[in-house]
Structure 1
């Protein structure tokens, strides 16, 4: 008899990368210290030495350097029974800033975050389709305006720009509802190259769904499972993969691209997941009913969607996601499936409940049934994932392979 009881997701085991006391490795060790403090919160020097295997002297030198650079702040001394009080060190929110650009099928958005991942300011543009020149112009203007939102002495601390974008965007023209020629520029021009040439900062690029998964891994709250499938629902549905506590992107950066996965719909017909569990489906139904679908893209909250349409979409989407996750379990035994998206929180919670219920009707013989959880980042996951790229690229270790 198949056990359909959901098992609690296991937290990532503590397996911090060991440090080295050898000359020339300080940059790696500094990344290690910053990663530990980001994962565990404020830490004293003795605790960092214990976790890394570095000597107390080496840790002291690193901590002093990071403090001098403005990346760490001293906390209140913790007095024990014997010896000098220990002083925990924490990340300085103003230590570094990051820009994150999300390019979507209906909108582009750029955010500015601090060292802790808190969004300080944002700029947004809504459009019928992503025109390359318009997106480039918006991006350059947004960088200038977001820079100016910081005090003058803080602007040099912007450490880079990350881009979250659907790969092969030109292939999606007809599904977006425009002539392919209007998006052909995406095939001949490179946003990463053009922004890198125009800006005095390092620029990174990642698939948008993978970026959403990165945000959950880096900025998500609570204990994270060691292995999980991350599902993000936007204009189209996409996914990301975390293995052994590390974001796995694959050789082309497209691992977890579950949108094209074949699934059986509620009518028994085999279709692609993205044709059933994407917001474009809801947009089309609103348009067919003569209703305004633009509010879907204005904000992830406050949608005014007829309950009948919303319930129909949720039922079909939950069935499709459950079947896709069930198939994925045959390849990788994920401990959890995390579901997030550009949608109201109550809708996301209802979708998670429905996916759990759909699991009850699937045969998990020979498989471990994963926990189904709500993502903890929310609608900003793609933008935050974009901003996490320069954070990971310049300051942290151990999140990506």
Structure 2
């Protein structure tokens, strides 16, 4: 059997399937201007000319075109000491809309975001395992419902759909407790292509953990390090890599797949990181105690987990993350490790504190100790990362921190 049959998702990683739509691809200089305004906030034409090296006339033509297309809005004139007042231009939140589909092992979610990355609306489905036909039907129904709820003028501005999904999804059937044949369709069918054909939209596909990293890079707040390892905790822990301010997915789209990295549990046993620092571990312990684990997948901020169980899991996860990321530093000298996930904010902060404390006990001889920081996007990172794919693919230049 050929490699593309065995591993279709990685082979398609980072690719797009082109459908029809009413928003064209932006020219390179237009993308550059949009990227600068997104990064720096409202900018006047003179400042854009200085930053880009483009002539004032060229910038004026670009800005006029972007304004006419509804992508930019004029701000209030700013008067200086001499000359004409400058007029800063900012992104129009309604200038373009993006769909993001997150397919997880316990749930699927579809969101619509505006040009600034604000979630306008969403739909969600929780399940025991991701059945291909059910996920596809959910995606199609969600797009119909979400777009149907938009103003008539906004619908033509939907500029693509991004999918964030675990690669080789069919390999996880046993872990999910289902017969392999129930997830075999993921091996042979192509959700990206099928949705593109039925929705007539440009569709992108990316590994789910890589998408979470993309969301941090594009939508995260505060100053971003140029090189960081992004750790995202969900059903399984995963990761993403940012190098020189740019998302690095790798040749198969799986760079930063830290789940299989060797780690050490609190008893000193060597195990894989995903067997210690994943939410499936917490799910199983809740079930062993006869408690409802379904609430883990509803909303992280409404978890009802016994404190003792949460403390035990957090200590084990932090220890394992510290060991795995310490090993990763021997390959790439990341400036920072950023930790985020489908977890409550307070738990994320606790994890960060405990990983820092573990680092205090570890030998970094020959290595640079990275900063340990909390991610700034949170539980929606995978869905937002999915929606960021058409934004990046169609309106921005290669995004840098």
Residue in 1 aligned with 2:112?
112
> TM-score under structure 2 normalisation?
0.93
1:180 equivalent to 2:183? Answer no
**Aligned equivalents of 2:140, 2:44: Cα separation in 1:** 41
SS of the residue 2:238 aligns to: strand
SS of the residue 2:301 aligns to: coil
> TM-score under structure 1 normalisation?
0.93
8 Å CA contact 1:102, 1:163 repeated in 2: yes
Residue in 1 aligned with 2:57?
57
Residue in 2 aligned with 1:3?
none
8 Å CA contact 1:67, 1:73 repeated in 2: yes
CA drift of 1:26 comes to 7.9
Question: Residue by residue, what CA displacement relative to the aligned partner does 1:95-153 show, whole Å, maximum 9, x if unpaired?
Answer: 00000000000000000000000000000000000000000000000000110121011
1:296-307 to structure 2, matched below 5 A, reads 296-307=296-307
CA drift of 1:399 comes to 2.1
**Aligned equivalents of 2:77, 2:258: Cα separation in 1:** 49
Residue in 2 aligned with 1:21?
none
1:1-400 to structure 2, matched below 5 A, reads 27-399=27-399
Count the aligned residue pairs: 376
**Aligned equivalents of 2:337, 2:310: Cα separation in 1:** 22
**Aligned equivalents of 2:158, 2:340: Cα separation in 1:** 28
Question: Residue by residue, what CA displacement relative to the aligned partner does 1:351-373 show, whole Å, maximum 9, x if unpaired?
Answer: 11111111011110011110000
Residue in 2 aligned with 1:4?
none
Question: Residue by residue, what CA displacement relative to the aligned partner does 1:205-227 show, whole Å, maximum 9, x if unpaired?
Answer: 00000000000000000000000
Structure 1: tracts of 5 or more residues without a match: 1-24
SS of the residue 2:377 aligns to: coil
Structure 2: tracts of 5 or more residues without a match: 1-24
SS of the residue 1:231 aligns to: strand
CA drift of 1:326 comes to 0.3
Question: Residue by residue, what CA displacement relative to the aligned partner does 1:311-348 show, whole Å, maximum 9, x if unpaired?
Answer: 11001100000011100100000000000000111111
**Aligned equivalents of 1:301, 1:388: Cα separation in 2:** 24
Deviating above 4 A after TM superposition, structure 1's stretches of 4 or more consecutive aligned residues are: none
**Aligned equivalents of 1:177, 1:268: Cα separation in 2:** 28
8 Å CA contact 2:96, 2:114 repeated in 1: yes
SS of the residue 1:301 aligns to: helix
8 Å CA contact 2:26, 2:394 repeated in 1: no
**Aligned equivalents of 2:270, 2:175: Cα separation in 1:** 19
RMSD: 1.0
**Aligned equivalents of 2:372, 2:178: Cα separation in 1:** 36
